Structure 1
Amino acid sequence: MPLPIALFWERKDVPGAEHAMLDVDRYVQGTILAAAPVPYSCRYEVQTGPDGATSRLDARAEGAGWARTVRLELAAGRWRVTASEQGDLDAALVANGHARAGQPGCEDPDLLYGAFDADLGGSPLFNTLPIRRLGLLRADAGVSHRLSVAWVLVPSLEVVQADQIYTSLGDRRIRFASETFSADLTCDDDGFVEDYPGLARRIRFAA
């Protein structure tokens, strides 16, 4: 069935883009393209539960000579993580002057216990999901939520636990912060990220 909403972002950090299509707060499918650290594409599908929390994430990243997949499924507060790998991403990374990648997936999914959101690296769409779930655009300035998330690194598709803080700043601005990073995101009236400083900006096309 065709999805009713399409969003497109242009990357600021590296040559690349993201295209996402979604049925609001239920299902999302999208593609990330990036030229670094190696040229790759990453296709993903996300399903959310009635509360807006992520219930399943499927991602497939691939480039010249390699491909990786990961699936995260949340049930009764615990994540099940399955992953696969073909080819040699490490060889491509080393050839481009980068360190080797972690393995896809997560060795101990119990470390993700308490996470109700998944975050795919380099994707502003995945910031939109908790912003909408938490109703942050309607919150008073200064209201903060600290989240534990299952963070999927791209292009390795390694899954790690991460703590993130979302703070309402008012005027459709949300401060996103982790232990070592922060950025003030600008959203539209529906909570979709319009501008992510240093990462991406949304491109609008005439209907």
Structure 2
Amino acid sequence: MPKSLFWARTDTAGSEHVVLDDRQGLTAQGVALAVDPIPYTCRYRLTVGADWSASGLEVEVEGAGWARSVRLARGGDGWQVRTGEEGNLDAALEAAGHPAAGLPGTEEPDQLTDALDVDLGGSPLFNTLPVRRLGLGRAPADLARQITVAWVLVPSLLVVPAEQVYTSLGPGRIRFASGTFSADLDVDPDGFVVRYPGLAERIGPR
């Protein structure tokens, strides 16, 4: 049966709800809401293969007077990235005192060639992909794995390659690090985040 997971954001006012099926890889549809840097609604559809490498991600984000979309698909020749835009997100950001976001997507999809995982900004669901793909839930403590992900920033939907490190800390604990940032995540037996310090906590049945 499909699963339903719900997180409350702890870094800002917001939440995320996703309905997923992880019996053979992962298919997921989610909605994320947040007020930072400006209020937005983000909808996504994620497809992950039986080996837990990502094969596709579609994201739509909208706010007052603007909307953006990005579609990522991975095949034998790497990642294909398509985008759409309506209205003016940059104007909305600048009116709220934030810098412009720039264009969605990427002009250099070849930079994503090494990425087997995708990461959607602000979403704790996407940490599960490398945890499951690398078997970190069953790995010895202190086993660290460095990966490259296709990171989709929200709300801009800019897509960039990002280096991340996942380290097993023993049952139910995973350390996530990227650049100078790190956080020790609490995960359930299926690798889904229960608590992400400074970002989100899961609410409801576990």
TM-score range, shorter chain: over 0.9
Contact 2:78 2:112 in 1 (8 A): yes
CA distance in 2, matches of 1:199, 1:27: 23
TM-score by length of 2: 0.96
Please state if 1:76 is matched with 2:84.
Answer: no
Kindly report which structure 2 residues correspond to 1:42-57, keeping only aligned pairs within 5 A, or say none. Answer: 42-57=42-57
SS at match of 1:37: coil
Please state if 1:26 is matched with 2:26.
Answer: yes
Please state if 1:187 is matched with 2:187.
Answer: yes
2:139 corresponding residue in structure 1: 139
| Alignment deviations for residues 19-67 of structure 1 (CA, whole Å, 9 cap, x no partner) | 0110112201101100110000100001111211100000000000000
| Alignment deviations for residues 150-185 of structure 1 (CA, whole Å, 9 cap, x no partner) | 000000000000000000001310000001210000
1:202 corresponding residue in structure 2: 202
TM-score by length of 1: 0.96
Contact 1:132 1:191 in 2 (8 A): yes
CA distance in 1, matches of 2:187, 2:77: 29
Kindly report which structure 2 residues correspond to 1:76-155, keeping only aligned pairs within 5 A, or say none. Answer: 76=76, 78-155=78-155
| Alignment deviations for residues 137-158 of structure 1 (CA, whole Å, 9 cap, x no partner) | 1000011111100000000000
Aligned CA RMSD, in angstroms, stands at 1.2
Contact 2:2 2:20 in 1 (8 A): yes
1:14 to 12, 35, 45: 12
| Alignment deviations for residues 68-99 of structure 1 (CA, whole Å, 9 cap, x no partner) | 00000001251000001100001111111100
- Identify unmatched segments of 5+ residues in structure 1: none
Shift of the 8–100 alpha-carbon distance from structure 1 to 2, 3 Å rule, reads same
- Identify unmatched segments of 5+ residues in structure 2: none
SS at match of 2:169: strand
CA distance in 1, matches of 2:86, 2:205: 37
CA distance in 1, matches of 2:38, 2:4: 26
CA distance in 2, matches of 1:61, 1:78: 24
CA distance in 1, matches of 2:56, 2:205: 30
CA distance in 2, matches of 1:171, 1:111: 34
CA distance in 2, matches of 1:18, 1:131: 20
Residue identity matched to 1:10: A
SS at match of 1:154: coil
Instruction: Name the count of aligned residue pairs.
Output: 204
Shift of the 136–77 alpha-carbon distance from structure 1 to 2, 3 Å rule, reads farther
Residue identity matched to 2:100: R
CA distance in 2, matches of 1:108, 1:190: 34
SS at match of 2:110: helix
Contact 1:144 1:165 in 2 (8 A): yes
CA distance in 2, matches of 1:132, 1:155: 27
2:158 corresponding residue in structure 1: 158
Residue identity matched to 1:160: V
Deviation at 1:136, TM superposition (A): 0.7
Contact 1:120 1:152 in 2 (8 A): yes
